[in-house]
Amino acid sequence: MTTALPPTIRPQDRSFLGEEQVAVRARLAEEVRALIDAVVLTDVPDAEIAEITGQVRALTDRLGAARLGAAPMADTPIDGLIASGMSRQLGNPVTGVLNPVAPPIPFEALPDGSVRSVFTLDEPYEGPPGLVHGGISAAIFDQVLGMTAGMSGVPGFTATLELRYRRPTPLRVPLTLKARITRREGRKCWADGEITTPDGRVTVEATAMFVTPRHLLAEEADEAQEQRTS
Ligand SMILES: CCCCCCCC/C=C\CCCCCCCC(=O)SCCNC(=O)CCNC(=O)[C@H](O)C(C)(C)COP(=O)(O)OP(=O)(O)OC[C@H]1O[C@@H](n2cnc3c(N)ncnc32)[C@H](O)[C@@H]1OP(=O)(O)O
């Protein structure tokens, strides 16, 4: 049975970038993050904004002169994280070092299988005044809990994600997200986690369930079969 994913989705059909190519593009993304922050907070005169808009348009045209069909992957896992497909997804909106929309959230696998992320969010991620937007917290949990599941050997799509917003989450302070697996059952994996402020107060808790899609398992089985018969 043929169950192949479309070419732009399959990791093996993506462009793979080496360390130096990633570093050059990551510096660009970092500058664009600073640009986003400056755009949100700028108070220069309107005429200057209009002039800058033209300059930004020209830069967009230069970068767009050669385009990939889909976001590239990294040759080698970033941050020393092995066996995590997502850490190599350079365009990911939460962890992607090449995506200026991503904060980006770093993560660290701890020896006990849990994951820790320490990050600071500023004005572009504001929801209520001075506080982190709830949907941003949800995206971060989705990704970090998903990676925790993936690293435990059950990579999957999010089937459920529930958040409990206990207290407001402040901007501009280092936040810590800790995540762990609570249960595994065949293709299903449950993970939970919480975000805490520097003084140790929990602001958001989350629980999620991930399912390894049937079609991915079928595709792996097809590839294994092809290798046996070739
Ligand atoms: C080859 C390489 C593999 C990749 C390796 C990469 C490693 C990377 C490591 C780590 C990184 C991960 C980081 C991810 C972070 C971001 C994740 C996202 O944002 S994902 C986007 C949002 N989510 C969706 O778009 C899902 C849409 N839904 C679906 O695609 C399907 O519904 C899916 C895959 C969830 C299940 O489909 P079915 O056909 O495979 O399986 P069925 O038979 O329907 O369900 C299996 C079991 O799960 C339960 N189930 C399924 N969905 C459920 C749900 N929503 N709630 C409760 N139970 C559910 C079912 O009741 C069934 O349970 P019973 O076996 O009968 O006990």
Whose alpha carbon is nearest atom 1 of ligand 1? 216
Determine the atom of ligand 1 nearest the C-alpha atom of 157.
20
DSSP code per residue over the chain: ---PPPTTTSGGGS-EE-HHHHHHHHHHHHHHHHHHHHHHH--S-HHHHHHHHHHHHHHHHHHTTS--SS--EESS-GGG--S-GGGGBTT-TTT-TT-TTS-PPP-EE-TTS-EEEEE---GGGBSSTTBB-HHHHHHHHHHHHHHHHHHTT---EEEEEEEEE-SPPBSSS-EEEEEEEEEEETTEEEEEEEEE-TTS-EEEEEEEEEE--HHHHHHHHHHHHHHHH-
Report CA(211)–ligand 1 centroid distance (Å): 3
- In ligand 1, the atom with minimum distance to the C-alpha of 83 is 7
Q: Whose CA is nearest to atom 39 of ligand 1?
A: 214
* Atom of ligand 1 minimally distant from the CA of 216: 1
**Res. 5: pLDDT tops 80:** no
Q: What pLDDT, on a 0 to 100 scale, did the predictor assign at position 19? A: 84
Going by pLDDT thresholds of 50, 70 and 90, the confidence category of residue 230 is low
Check if 48 has its Cβ closer than 6 Å to any atom of ligand 1: no
Q: Note the CATH architecture for domain 105-218.
A: Roll (3.10)
Q: Is the pLDDT of residue 10 over 90?
A: no
96 lines ligand 1 (CB under 6 A): no
Q: Residues 85-130: pLDDT tens digits?
A: 456 789 999 999 999 999 989 888 898 989 999 999 999 999 999 9
Cβ–ligand 1 contact at 196 (below 6 Å): no
Shortest-distance Cα residue to atom 9 of ligand 1 = 150
Residue boundaries of the structural domains of the chain: 105-218
Mutate to test the pocket of ligand 1, among 157, 162, 212 (most ligand atoms within 8 A of CB): 157
- Whether the per-residue pLDDT at 210 is higher than 70: the answer is yes
Whole-prediction pTM: 0.91
Q: Does residue 174 register a pLDDT over 80?
A: yes
The preferred substitution site among 99, 152, 211, 216 for testing ligand 1, maximizing ligand atoms within 8 Å of CB, is 211
Determine if ligand 1 sits within 6 Å of the CB of residue 150: yes
